[in-house]
Copies of this chain bind each other. A is one copy, B any other.
Amino acid sequence: MPLTTRIEAAITAAIRQGQGGIAPAKLAAALHYATTPGGARIRPTICTSVALACGDDRPALTDAAATALELIHCASLVHDDLPCFDDAEIRRGKPSVHRAYSEPLAVLAGDSLIVMAFDTLARAAPQDAMRAVELIRILAARTGMPHGICAGQGWESEPKIDLSAYHRAKTGALFIAATQMGAVAAGQDAEPWEELGARIGEAFQVADDLRDALLDEDALGKPAGQDGLHGRPNAVAQLGVDGAVKRLTDILGGAIASIPSCPGEAALAAMVRQYAERLTPLTQTARAR
């Protein structure tokens, strides 16, 4: 089964589980709306790729980990789009959840997706309870306070931002969770996989900053120039476009070098290289200016 098919099937199953039985219909629909169409599913793809590189001996745990990561990511998008944060009208090329459904339903959809993420991991526990518990611990640490994506968003309410803590929590956290959860789902230690996740997260942040600076709303599928508008730190503002492109290349090289020794090491390096190539058009756009 191709990776994308496997990942979509797992996410769809989790959403159906959350919609099932006698339930409020609009909120049930909002759960599906908030998680489709899926975009690149980058975090689950990284997670599943790492698990495969480590042998993927408990595929149900891998699928649960990949799904849980995406559910948390989607929940964060729904809540970040709320009027009190970015007040985003569009997301992934369609109206944001609070625009399509209502603000109360957007708050509840985000809450429900967070809960569903942990439920999905707990449901996979019969395969290996200790691994499931470690997956839950990693996901919680990278989602909540003091070091997860909630903390990252929380830094934006501070008069003085610890930039390193901010970036690591806001963007890095779920990428670190992705590599570590892939490894743990396949029975490996989490710790050696932190650096790969952190570096992919950094690369993603710089690429996002470049996109935000260089592309318009149509190409982005969301409003452009949001960082400048909201006074958020941004690699292009700090380093200029050329500096940011160089930083991106360096980080991806470091990511490949950091891959721990494992049966699928070469395939994993190829995946990161492919990921780097997908960022190339962006680099060329930058160079053409």
Contact = CB atoms under 8 A, between A and B. Distances in A.
Interface of A: 18-28, 31, 75, 79, 82, 84-85, 101-105, 107-108, 110-112, 114-116, 118-119, 122-123, 125, 129-130, 132-133, 136-137, 140-141, 143-148, 150-151, 153-158, 162, 165
Contact of A154 (B26, B130, B137): B26
A31 to B, nearest CB: 6
A97 B180 CA distance: 34
B115 A148 contact: yes
A130 B125 CA distance: 8
Contacts of A119: 136-137, 140-141, 144
Given A27-B157, A104-B156, A132-B133, 11 more contacts: A18-B144, A25-B158, A27-B145, A75-B111, A102-B157, A112-B150, A115-B143, A116-B144, A122-B133, A123-B137, A133-B133
Nearest to A104: B84
Identify the interface centre among A75, A103, A112: most chain B CB within 10 Å of its CB: A112
A22 B151 CA distance: 10
Nearest to A118: B118
Contacts of A143: 115
Query: What is the interface of chain A mostly: helix, strand, loop, or mixed?
Result: helix
A150 B28 contact: no
Given A23-B154, A150-B112, A107 B133 contact: no
A156 B107 CA distance: 13
A133 B125 contact: yes
A255 to B, nearest CB: 24
Given A107-B107, A115-B144, A137-B122, A150 B27 contact: yes
B111 A18 contact: no
Given A26-B154, A133-B129, A146 B107 contact: no
A48 to B, nearest CB: 22
17 contacts: A19-B146, A20-B146, A22-B165, A23-B146, A23-B151, A23-B154, A27-B145, A28-B145, A110-B111, A114-B114, A114-B144, A115-B143, A115-B150, A116-B140, A119-B141, A129-B129, A133-B133
B18 A145 contact: yes
A114 B18 CA distance: 17
A198 B133 CA distance: 29
B158 A26 contact: yes
B21 A147 contact: yes
Contact of A18 (B21, B108, B146, B156): B146
A125 B128 CA distance: 13
A27 to B, nearest CB: 3
